[in-house]
Amino acid sequence: MNHWKLEPYMKIKMEAGISNNIAVTEKHQQLDNATMNSKFKLGQVVRFRNYKRNIAEHEAYFIVIHEGDSEKELELYTLNTNRLFPCGSTVIPEFPEEDLRLVNLKPKDILEEEIYMFKKSDESILTGAVVNCIGEEEFITFSLEDSFLVSNMKVEYHTSEDRMMRGKIYVSLYC
């Protein structure tokens, strides 16, 4: 049986202030399955069709970090904290073709949202609320650069340690 090991993490490439520590979420081992090729591609932003939210809640957004095929399951990275999943966690949807919808993520969609930033050397996790998106693009997209999915825009964060930081969103993929 073929096993895939994935260690995704998200970090901000620092422009000033705090060192560039690396954050690692829970390690996963994926087993082979018999799913068909997925229409969802690496780096796309999706949401669940049936995510029931109340008026006060924002939408839950996910990034495709592993495309589904006959070898492995589709795997998603939780971009923003929501009532079901904390930011930085990974999700394997049971019926992706029926449950997921592609999203054009606008900068305003993640304002005031909590984003997982990185795990510090003392093992504490730093999160941040997005307070501004910097760039002229209409939508936030992610493209593959080396072993990272990198956002096309910079964002400013107000961190859980009461600091301000700026940088692109990086989601790293290690197989």
- Euclidean distance between CA atoms 175 and 173, whole angstroms: 7
What pTM value is reported for the model?
Answer: 0.74
Token duo for residue 46 = 């999706």
The more confidently predicted of residues 172 and 68 is 68
Structure tokens at 156: 């400013």
- Contact by Cβ (8 Å): 101, 49: yes
**Residue 53: both structure tokens together:** 């939210």
Which pLDDT score, from 0 to 100, does residue 18 have? 34
Q: Name the band, by pLDDT with cuts 50, 70 and 90, for residue 150.
A: very high
Q: pLDDT value at position 75?
A: 94
Smallest Cα–Cα separation from 95: which of 118, 73, 77, 121? 73
What average pLDDT does the segment 121-128 reach?
78
pLDDT of 99 strictly over 60: yes
Q: List the helix and strand counts (H, then E) for the chain.
A: 2, 13
pLDDT surpasses 60 at 148: yes
The β-bridge partners of 158 are: 129, 164
pLDDT, mean of residues 85-103 = 92
Q: What is the mean pLDDT of residues 123-136?
A: 87
